[in-house]
Structures are given as structure tokens and as C-alpha cells.
Amino acid sequence: MSGQVRRSVESHPIEYWKKEASLPADLVPTSANQFVEKEKYTFLVSGATGYLGGFTCKDMLMLLNDRIEKIYCLVRSYKSFDETKQMLCEAFKKTTSKPLTEEQLNKIYPVKGDISKERLGLSEQDYELLSKEVDIIFSIGANVNLSRTYQKSRLTNCFCIPQILKLATSNPNSLKRIIHISTLAVFFDDRDLVENDNDLPLLEKLNGKNGYIQSKAISELMLKEASTRGFEILLVRSPTLFACSETGYGNDLDTLLLCIRTGLIEGKMNDFSYVPSFRVSSVDWLSRVLVKMILDKNIWIDYFNVQNPSNSSSLTGYMELIAKEFSIPVIPNKDFLELIGKSSNPTSKLMSQIFTHFGYKLTKFNFPITENTVNYLKSIGEYEGLNVTRSTIFKYIYKEFFNKSKL
């Protein structure tokens, strides 16, 4: 398993990375391409079938319903319209205990597509329809497989950028705004760079990273170039996600949730004493922040505006809370890695694979939240809710791990 992660690392000359980050010269909005302000907007969302995408679509329906005309959801595993819509609606309902109304769900329109394909994998008819109707593109979909090489990761994470930009300018009478979700991991061991929200990863530091991080860094650099050409782009770097604070619904492959599951399976928790702090936030908190940003005119003053919605969390504190609840020991990282390295459990094997690659690099995933982001989160009433609480931790464990509720 660990060999798979090691093989995901690629190194190339700086000229190669420069070429990867470049855009076609003719990909430029015309003078007629301007974003049109409206009372109601039509959205295109990629990644709606994913974890964060599901929460974001749900919150769009709940928080922005009066400002939404339609939400087109790009779906790769498209069946019939009715079957695919039912799948989407059921996924959105899982993200909340509050019922979504028929009026809200009737704004969902699945469309067959694939962000790794030319023209986003859309049929000619669908492309023309979206070109005419869509006002805002919400780019959430991504390949987050850490064992993939850059060559495989770029098919989804990088190739989609020019395709999204082409769609954004496809209507000669208007420009579509773009909201793109990136990751704080582009600065995984470059903590000193992140002093301002608009800091970008450096090409000369891409060698040695895994394919996922490299592909997300290249996509950011392409979007930055697009912004200088007149595209309206809001880029948000997501922190590591935790379960929903309302329901406990979680994605078991997210890093911290995987750590917790592994510890409970093995009956011992990693002390994580070597990680002073870590960036993690509940998925529903991040989703609300994203939705509040969509129509916030203050955010769109600059064509390229990165937000880093995250704060410090103590992994040691989380592990100690769980260990106390279940009367299991907390052991040093070295002993924990030896334990899971010998385990035959699939979850523990996956955790061992991730640690084999990242190891003590986690100590550098510790840059501060910027003052600009702090002030913005306070202005929209979301600064107090960014840290994962004890209640959220145990809602996840009892709902998703033990499949029962205690809280």
C-alpha cells in the first residue's frame, strides 16, 4: 500500500510546470462579456454528488432559495433524468435533519457531464442550454485520491479549468462567474508563504508533492492567470473537513475521521503530540460560508480573491476526548504507526498508507488564518463556529461508526 503513495510523486523541470499552468492565448473574455446582476440566478455545480457538494447544494436551497432560479448539477453517473434527480435529492436530504420542500427540490436539474472531458462532457444540446442559462459556475468536483500520479490527477483537477473558462465566456452577452474550491494542502509544507489570502503556491516547490497537491496547485495558477484576463473568479481553499455538526454525517475517507475510525478499530488512539495544531472544520460550517459568499458583492470586488476558512485544532485534544469516552489508551505516534502497519484491517491499512507518505509533514500544516479571513468570517457571523466541538465528534462516532445515536 505504501508503495502506491510513493509512486504518486512526480518531479519535473520548472519549464514543464510553467507549461502546465499556462492557458490558451485566445481564452479571454470580450468587452461584451460582463457579469449580469439579477434578482434570481441559475447555477451549474460540479461535484454535487460528492460530500461537500451535497452540503453546498442543500444550503443553496435553504439559504438562497429566493435568489435561485435553477441549479444544474453535472453528474457523470447519469441514468435517466428522474432516476438521477432522485439520487441527488436523496443525497441532499442526508445532509440535514430539516426537510427540503418540493419547491426547493424542483429547482434541481441533473445534466450528464464529466469535468475530465472536452466541453465538460456535455452534449451539444446541453452545452448550448447551459451557455444560455447559467450565471454562476460552482466548481467543487475534484479527484482527491492521494495515491494518484499528477498525470492522472490532472485529468480531472486541471483539465477542467480551461473547459470551465470556455463555458464562462460561451454566451457573448454575459460572463459567468466562477467559484472554485481548492485546498489548503497546496501549502502543505510551505507555511511561510501564507501571509496573505492571495498568496499562491510556487512552481519550484511542486516537485516531491503528491499528484493531488500538484494538480490543485496548477489549477490555482491557471485561475490566477484567468483572473488577470478579466474572468471573475472566487477561489476558496478548503481546510480538512470533519462531520456535520448538526447530524454527525461524515465522509469516512476524510483524514481526521479516518484517524478516529482507525483508533477505535485498533483500540488505541494516536497521541499526535508532534502536531501542534491542524486545520479542520465541520463540513456544514464550510458549506454555509461558501453559500454566503456567492452573492456577497464585497467578495467580488477583486477578480481573484482567496479565502482560507480555517483555524487551529488540537489533534491530541480530540484523541484524548475519544480515549476517555471509550476507556482506551493513547499511545505515541511511533507505536501507533507500528500497530497499524501490522494490521489486516482495510481502514488501518489505508491510514498506514497515508501516514507513510505524509508522516511528520503534518507538523508544517500549521499556518495561521489570515486577518482578512477572520474579519470576513466575523462579518457574516461564521467566525465562532469554525472549530469542531466535542458534540460534533461524538455525533459522528455514534452515528457513523456505531450506527446509533447517543446525543
Confidence of residue 85 (pLDDT cuts 50, 70, 90): very high
Return the top range by mean pLDDT from 215-219, 274-278, 280-284.
215-219
Residues 331 and 358 in one domain: yes
Residues 48 and 76 in one domain: yes
pLDDT at 304: 83
pLDDT at 25: 94
pLDDT at 298: 85
pLDDT at 216: 96
Mean pLDDT value across residues 383-398:
90
pLDDT at 3: 43
Q: Do 121 and 159 form a contact (C-beta atoms < 8 A)?
A: no
Residues 273 and 284 in one domain: no
pLDDT at 167: 97
Q: Where are the alpha helices (DSSP H) in 251-381?
A: 255-266, 283-294, 315-326, 333-341, 346-358, 371-379
> CATH number of the domain that 161 lies in?
3.40.50.720
Residues 191 and 272 in one domain: no
Is 373 domain-assigned? no
CA separation for the pair 249, 400 (Å, rounded): 7
Q: Do 21 and 221 form a contact (C-beta atoms < 8 A)?
A: yes
Q: Which of 379, 384, 196 is nearest to 292 (CA)?
A: 379
Which whole-number Å values give the CA distances from 43 to 25, 60, 136, 179, in the listed order?
27, 10, 5, 11
Q: What is the pLDDT of residues 27-43, one digit of tens each?
A: 999 877 889 999 999 99
pLDDT above 80 (res 269): yes
Least confident of 164-173, 272-281, 392-401: 272-281
pLDDT above 60 (res 1): no
Higher pLDDT, 197 or 287: 287
Distance of CA 403 to the CA centre of its chain: 26
- 294 CB-contact burial (10 Å; exposed 0-12 / middle 13-18 / buried 19+): buried
User: How much is the pTM?
Assistant: 0.92
Confidence of residue 139 (pLDDT cuts 50, 70, 90): very high
pLDDT at 122: 97
Q: What is the pLDDT of residues 171-212, one digit of tens each?
A: 999 999 999 999 888 876 655 556 677 888 889 889 988 899
pLDDT above 70 (res 280): yes
Is 353 domain-assigned? yes
pLDDT above 70 (res 300): yes
Torsion of CA 243, 246, 248, 254, to 10 degrees: -10
Provide the domain limits for residue 175. Answer: 2-243+280-311
pLDDT at 368: 67
Mean pLDDT value across residues 308-336:
88
pLDDT above 90 (res 327): yes
Confidence of residue 17 (pLDDT cuts 50, 70, 90): very high
Q: Which of 77, 71, 159 is nearest to 112 (CA)?
A: 77
Higher pLDDT, 86 or 400: 86
CA separation for the pair 392, 97 (Å, rounded): 15
pLDDT above 60 (res 407): no
Is 381 domain-assigned? no
Residues 65 and 187 in one domain: yes
Is 248 domain-assigned? no
Q: Which of 210, 165, 172, 162 is nearest to 189 (CA)?
A: 210
Is 274 domain-assigned? yes
**How many structural domains is the chain composed of?**
2
Residues 287 and 270 in one domain: no
Residues 72 and 124 in one domain: yes
Return the top range by mean pLDDT from 36-50, 239-253, 375-389.
36-50
Residues 234 and 267 in one domain: no
Q: What is the pLDDT of residues 96-138, one digit of tens each?
A: 999 899 999 999 999 999 999 999 999 999 999 999 999 999 9
pLDDT above 90 (res 344): yes
Q: Which of 153, 177, 290, 172 is nearest to 233 (CA)?
A: 177
Is 250 domain-assigned? no
**Secondary structure element (H or E) that encloses residue 393, with its range:** helix 390-396
pLDDT at 5: 45
Mean pLDDT value across residues 221-237:
95
pLDDT above 80 (res 355): no
Where do we find the cell 460534533?
392
Residues 97 and 166 in one domain: yes
Higher pLDDT, 183 or 361: 183
Where do we find the cell 504507526?
337
Residues 126 and 137 in one domain: yes
Mean pLDDT of the chain: 88
pLDDT at 7: 54
Q: Do 84 and 44 form a contact (C-beta atoms < 8 A)?
A: no
User: Is the torsion defined by CA of 287, 272, 371, 216 positive or negative?
Assistant: negative
Q: Do 223 and 177 form a contact (C-beta atoms < 8 A)?
A: no
Residues 293 and 392 in one domain: no
Return the top range by mean pLDDT from 169-173, 254-258, 359-363, 366-370.
169-173
pLDDT at 4: 44
Is 205 domain-assigned? yes
Is 379 domain-assigned? no
pLDDT at 191: 54
Residues 266 and 214 in one domain: no
- 386 CB-contact burial (10 Å; exposed 0-12 / middle 13-18 / buried 19+): buried
The residues that bridge with 179 in the sheet, in sequence order, are: 138, 234
177: helix, strand or coil: strand
CA separation for the pair 115, 252 (Å, rounded): 24
